Amino acid sequence: MFKAARWRTEKNKIKVVFKLKFQATQVPELGWETMIVALVPMDSRKPTVRSEKAAVIKGSCHWVNPIYETVKLTKDPKTEKINEKVYRFLVIADGSAKADFVGEVTIDLAYYAEALKPSVISLPFKASNSEAILHVTIQRMQADAEGRAFDQNGETNIPEQQKKMTSQLDISNTEQGSNFRRTNVNPIEVRANLL
């Protein structure tokens, strides 16, 4: 009785990796030399990832390297809709004297969990006296295949159907006298990397 309920909740969890690139424009020239972006989930209030420092040049700041954020999402079992997962993107500037809070934007990453192409969003800073704009490119890198579940630690469990197929392939190769060696490659991960 309890196993069925637990199985349903595990099946509704999705793990998605996002690639995020940033650019800030219309940055006021207040002596800021570099800026960083920190991602903070609304439900935890602690930064999960920070960008490297990027130089502020003529009112613009471009981060060369993207950052990657792994997000655990849940689906509503009745509506099949992904529940929201809002992140705060905090922009902090380093000047010659001290660090300053420039502003923030909020984005619901669950909205982009099923996106096939990168999306570019341009949002003005909240809680800021400037007219600076943060441009964010959001790209989903991988998502779980249907039927894949997570345990309580966030580790993935291989579905029973995949285990059966793998064992049947091993039996078939043994019966045919195949010289192929079995490797530890997960076909779901390979397919996700090809997308």
- Average pLDDT of the chain is 75
3-state secondary structure of 176: coil
pLDDT of the residue at 56: 92
Indicate if the pLDDT at residue 162 is higher than 50. Answer: no
Contact 30/95 with Cβ under 8 angstroms? Answer: yes
> Exposed, middle or buried, 28 (CB in 10 Å: 0-12/13-18/19+)?
middle
Report which of 19, 20, 57, 22 is spatially closest to residue 36, judged by C-alpha positions.
22
Going along the chain from its start, the domains and CATH numbers come out as 2-143 (2.60.40.150), 159-194 (no CATH)
Indicate if the pLDDT at residue 137 is higher than 90. Answer: yes
Q: How far apart are CA 118 and CA 68, in angstroms?
A: 14
67-111 per-position pLDDT tens digit: 999 999 998 888 888 999 999 999 998 765 667 888 999 999 999
pLDDT of the residue at 3: 55
Report which of 2, 93, 92 is spatially closest to residue 39, judged by C-alpha positions.
92
27-38 per-position pLDDT tens digit: 888 778 899 999
42-55 per-position pLDDT tens digit: 988 899 999 999 99
Residue 74 bridge partners (DSSP)? 13
Q: Output 193 or 59, whichever has higher pLDDT.
A: 59
Q: How far apart are CA 107 and CA 25, in angstroms?
A: 18
Look up residue 47 and give its amino acid.
Answer: P
